[in-house]
Amino acid sequence: MTRKQFETLDLDNLEQNLQQAAELIAGRIRAIACDPVKQNISFEELAAIIPCDLPDEGHGPEAVIGEVARHIEPYSTRIGHPRFLAWITTSPGPAGTIGDMLCTGLNQAPLSFKGGPAATVLEEIVLGWFAGIFGMPEGWGGTIVSGGTMANLMGLTVARRVHAPQVHARGMQGLERPLVLYVSDQGHMSVTRSAVLLGIGEDNVRAVPSDSACRMIPHELEKAVQQDRRAGRLPFCVVAQAGSVTTGAVDPLPDIAAICRRENMWMHVDAAYGGAVMLADELRPLLAGIELADSVCVDPHKWFFVPLECGITLFRSREQQLETFRAKAAYLGAENPHDLKNTTFILSRANRALKVWFAFRSYGRLRIARIIRRNMELARQLYRLMCDHPEWEPLAPAPLSIVCGRYTPSAAVRGCWTEQQIDDLQLQMIEELERSGTALLTPAAVNGRAGVRVCIANHRTTPEDITLIFNTLTAIGTRIARPDEHETAGE
């Protein structure tokens, strides 16, 4: 029996189908700046639109691509829109999209070298770039994972192995003293989630107070460590922020590094967002001290403009990383020193390095750095607009490209508003802006005060976009705060 007599899943018109899909993606990118940023549609309404039957006989890729064009693409949030300034999941550069398509098409399995020789080398190349960017010493290690949450988990897993090696064989039951983890009160939720997954527990995560600039206070860290030692606990790791998720704050990294060395603790730096400034030579001092970390989390799919999903953990010691994750199984075949299965607990994995390599080779470091620099200039523009307007105030400094501000009704009506009502107003403004399709932002809570958070990590955003967002938000706030006056003006 010949191969053609066997039924396979091959397509008769593969090239044509791929062209259809490519045209759909290219058309979306060409129109990415068109409003609305997000369609106003409920889950139930959308579930009634997207075909949901599981057919016994397929409709063919041509028809299904048409269904995607009609029923899925229009209802997919335009994350690359120049006024999508919500989460730090940013606007991908189209070169990265092409790299991601190639990754899927080549379909490598780089858990072992033989499962993806080129993919294995690509990961080493990309990790080498990032190790150099972040000042890792000789003997560094690293892994490419899905994003910041997993990258933080990787760093904390190795930290636990190094400072409590008995856990590897005996589990947390083998510990005589509970491990304690420290992070500022501005830390990302993934730190606590990692502590839960690692058996450390939420109760053993200390939220260290931050200052008025939302930076961890080193003295408060030292005080918390000493209190835990006196209570018989084992302080083992500090997570420092290099671009916190709410305000973009950068903790005093050299001071924290000094405390970690003195107290024999692991220093992990969460630079998932802020790490991108290291691409620009003149911005590198903003993250001074990051080269002292034992591990660093950074996300190419954030401010490096690479498509989802892609996160990186770097380690000062590759040997410590391999001791933590080394995996053996007969069915995997003979060991190769470059097998990626030994660098993380993930076995099946995509060749995420390809899209990073493709994007950086296509654009070059300096072009990406120029976009990062411009995003920071746009943040300063918005910060100045808030400072100069009598009804706005920034809630925190804007050291990178996140700006948090609070709209307060004018003095003429302010006495009628409680602080809670002003807090509620911030969310009303964001929701109305979203419904208009003009922009997508998120709320912020800074030092107990609600506000509007604008994360400018988008290669398409312009000064005109910033002005439009600010003016639109101000008009919404004014109309809500003074409805009678607005109605009178409209009559």
List the CATH number of the domain containing 444: 3.90.1150.170
40 shares its domain with 105: no
300-332 per-position pLDDT tens digit: 999 999 999 999 999 999 999 999 999 888 888
Q: So what's the pLDDT on residue 42? A: 96
Domain membership of residue 21 as a residue range: 17-77
187-199 per-position pLDDT tens digit: 999 999 999 999 9
Of 312, 329, 364, the position where a domain reaches its end is 364
pLDDT level of residue 57 (50, 70, 90 thresholds)? very high
277 shares its domain with 373: no
Map tokens 């860290």 to a residue: 221
335 shares its domain with 188: yes
Q: So what's the pLDDT on residue 383? A: 98
DSSP-derived pairing of the beta strands 449-455 and 442-446: antiparallel
Position 392 in a domain:
yes
340 shares its domain with 389: no
pLDDT level of residue 3 (50, 70, 90 thresholds)? low
Q: Which of 203, 262, 283, 213 is nearest to 241 (CA)?
A: 213
Percent pLDDT > 70 in the chain is 97
380 shares its domain with 344: no
Position 10 in a domain:
no
Position 90 in a domain:
no
Task: Indicate if the alpha-carbon torsion angle 202, 203, 204, 206 is positive or negative.
Answer: positive
CA gyration radius, the chain:
25
Percent pLDDT > 90 in the chain is 90
Domain of 311: which CATH number? 3.40.640.10
325 shares its domain with 472: no
- Above 60 in pLDDT, residue 486? no
- Above 90 in pLDDT, residue 35? no
Number of domains in the chain: 3
330 shares its domain with 278: yes
Arithmetic mean of pLDDT over the chain: 95
Q: What is the mean pLDDT of residues 472-489?
A: 76
348-392 per-position pLDDT tens digit: 999 999 999 999 999 999 999 999 999 999 999 999 999 999 999
392-426 per-position pLDDT tens digit: 999 999 999 999 999 999 876 777 899 999 999 99
CA–CA separation, 246 vs 401, rounded Å? 11
Q: Which of 483, 389, 405 is nearest to 450 (CA)?
A: 405
* pTM, 2 dp: 0.95
266 shares its domain with 337: yes
- Above 50 in pLDDT, residue 490? no
pLDDT level of residue 338 (50, 70, 90 thresholds)? very high
Q: What is the mean pLDDT of residues 36-56?
A: 96
354-364 per-position pLDDT tens digit: 999 999 999 99
pLDDT level of residue 335 (50, 70, 90 thresholds)? confident
Q: So what's the pLDDT on residue 2? A: 63
338 shares its domain with 390: no
B/e letters for 150-186, b = 16+ CB within 10 Å, e = fewer, are bbbbbbbbbbbbbbbeebeeeeeeeeeebbbbbbbeb
Q: What is the mean pLDDT of residues 464-472?
A: 98
